[in-house]
Structure 1
Amino acid sequence: MGTLTIKYSQLTGAIINESNIPTEYKLSWNYPNPFNPTTKIKFDITRNVRREMQDVKLVVYDVLGSEVVTLINESKTVGSYEVEFDATGFPSGIYFYSLLIDGNVIDTKRMILLK
């Protein structure tokens, strides 16, 4: 007969590196800017004392204020995120992007699409 070995471990605690957790909501400038046809947008979500998951929406608007695309519309936990905006098919011009958390606008920034 062979030998059966069973290994068991139990996690009794965890250490969380607090320095990696964002301390505030932040919407960064897209990079590159101006861009053609893609750019990256970074944002941070901080802790919410009321709940772990937060409703996150990242929306792009044209210069007239019309919504042209929603890049994110989902629940997310605390952390840092990056989204790529592919503007293939969009005309050159100035666009704005807004980060909304739980329905509140956190920040809005401007980006330029040059073709």
Structure 2
Amino acid sequence: MASYRSAQAATPTPTITVFPNPSRGQLTVQAAGLSGQGYKFRLANVLGREVRLLSFRPEQASEALAVDLNGLPAGLYFYSLLVNDKIVSTKRLTLQAD
């Protein structure tokens, strides 16, 4: 007995790039694989407490989001890319003192 599967186009997994890392307070955030849809950038401290949540809808795929983290204490943070309010990716960020 033969089985058939429908061919579906592979949807690219959204990714996030944050630089510089480590940072001294100014970040650039770029997301890829979103096909013009909006996303949220979430930053949490090591205890999991959210310290920033920014919504962004780029008009162009190469558009970047500038994030000011001045005022936050130096230390380890975790940033997440949220698409449709679901976490797609989480990575580590080191914030250094000036």
Name the TM tier (shorter chain): 0.7 to 0.9
Deviations 1:12-68 (A, max 9, x none): xxxxxxxxxxx441112x211111121212111434xxxxx6442111111110110
TM-score normalised by the chain length of structure 1? 0.63
Once the two structures are superposed, the pairs formed by residues 25-64 of structure 1 within 5 Å of their partners are 25-28=14-17, 30-47=18-35, 54-64=37-47
Aligned to 2:52: 69
Aligned residues: 87
SS at match of 2:82: strand
Whole-Å separation in 2 of the counterparts to 1:74 and 1:32: 19
Query: How far is the alpha carbon of 1:75 from its aligned partner?
Result: 5.0
Which structure has the greater CA radius of gyration? Answer: 1
Q: Note the residue ranges of structure 1 that are not aligned, 5 or more in a row.
A: 1-22, 48-52
Instruction: Show structure 1 runs of 4+ deviating over 3 A.
Output: 74-78
- The 1:25/1:90 distance shift into structure 2, 3 A limit, reads same
CA apart distance, 1:86: 1.2
In the alignment, the residues of structure 1 paired with residue 43 and residue 75 of structure 2 have an alpha-carbon distance, to the nearest angstrom, of 13
CA–CA distance in structure 2, aligned partners of residues 39 and 112 of structure 1 = 11
Confirm or deny that 1:89 pairs with 2:71.
yes
CA RMSD of aligned residues (A): 2.4
| Identical amino acids, percent of aligned pairs | 30
TM-score of the pair, normalised by structure 2: 0.72
- Unmatched segments (≥5 aa) in structure 2: 1-11
**Aligned partner of 1:32: which letter?**
P
Give the aligned partner of residue 114 of structure 1: 96
